[in-house]
Structure 1
Amino acid sequence: MLNRLAHVTLYVHDCEEALQFYTEKLGFQKRMDSKMDDGSRWLTIGLPDQELEIVLHDPTHWHREDVAQIMLQQVGKNPMWVWQTEDFEGTYETFRQRGVKFISEPHDVMYGKEVIFEDLYGNRFLMLQPTTM
């Protein structure tokens, strides 16, 4: 039986620029960074208090050219993920000052407060501070 989600993958055009965006703008930590003999790179990031790792995956060294091109067409088209915070205003202001692109204004909803932002490739993420029950 399955017991946990260990990794999720984001296709990227450039691992280094993606790493810089996620660590410097959003506060993720680099978890693994390994070069393989064939030139491919295994690069993961994660939040400080979370076990889940995000693979920043440039498929050009991992896959045949035709397969890599299909994967590269998916850059910026991931489904929206929801990131939770306990300090909505502080996190929003920090991200804004770091140049994160917001595509909505923060607003209150019946289950909390939320705003939508994008990464450097156009993937959309929702930041949520849920209402305390």
Structure 2
Amino acid sequence: MSRFIGMITLVVRDYDEAIAWYTEVLGFSLVNDTALSETKRWVVVAPGNVDTRLLLAKADDDRQKARVGNQTGGRVALFLHTDDFPVDHAKMVEAGVHFLDEPRHETYGSVAVFEDLYGNKWDLLELK
């Protein structure tokens, strides 16, 4: 039996701005963008040819809108793994990604914390 997390929901302010940021800035692929109703869409992005994807879900009430950008109480929410940290870090800096710290080289690998367009914290991470 094989089990894995296939998708994680990320609450966003606007579908199109989120699609643009994740595809143009981070280089993710747009996997699906299907209208479900006049106000809801099924929008899925992925960082390449992997099993885990992000479902970009537009906040539709005040409670959800309050969580945009802070879904984990200020902690790192997501971990973007790479096999070429220096190249990916440089590309992301060039694309305007806001890093909260300089790259660190820890015993487990290289890491730097960045924010997405809403302020959610991510680790860019290359494991040894």
- TM surpasses 0.5: yes
Does residue 76 of the first structure (1) align with residue 69 of the second (2)?
Answer: yes
Alpha-carbon displacement from aligned partner over 1:40-72 (angstroms, at most 9, x marks no partner): 111110121212221111032xxxxxxx21111
Provide the alpha-carbon RMSD of the alignment: 1.6
Larger CA Rg, structure 1 vs 2: 1
The farther-off stretch of 6-15 and 74-83 is 74-83
Identity %: 30
TM-aligned CA deviation for residue 2 of structure 1: 8.6
Kindly tell me the number of residue pairs found equivalent between the two proteins.
Answer: 124
2:59–2:68 Cα contact (<8 Å) kept? no
Q: Does 1:114 pair with 2:114?
A: no
TM-score after normalising by structure 1: 0.87
| 1:1-133 paired onto structure 2 within 5 Å | 3-60=3-60, 68-79=61-72, 80=76, 81-131=78-128
Structure 1 unpaired stretches of 5+: 61-67
CA distance change for structure 1 residues 88 and 11 in 2, over 3 Å: closer, same or farther? same
Distance across 2 between alignment mates of 1:59 and 1:106 = 32
2-structure distance, mates of 1:39, 1:69: 16
> Which range is displaced more, 100-109 or 1-10?
1-10
1:14-65 CA-partner distances (Å, limit 9, x unpaired): 11111111001111100110112343111110121212221111032xxxxx
| Structure with the higher strand share, 1 or 2 | 2
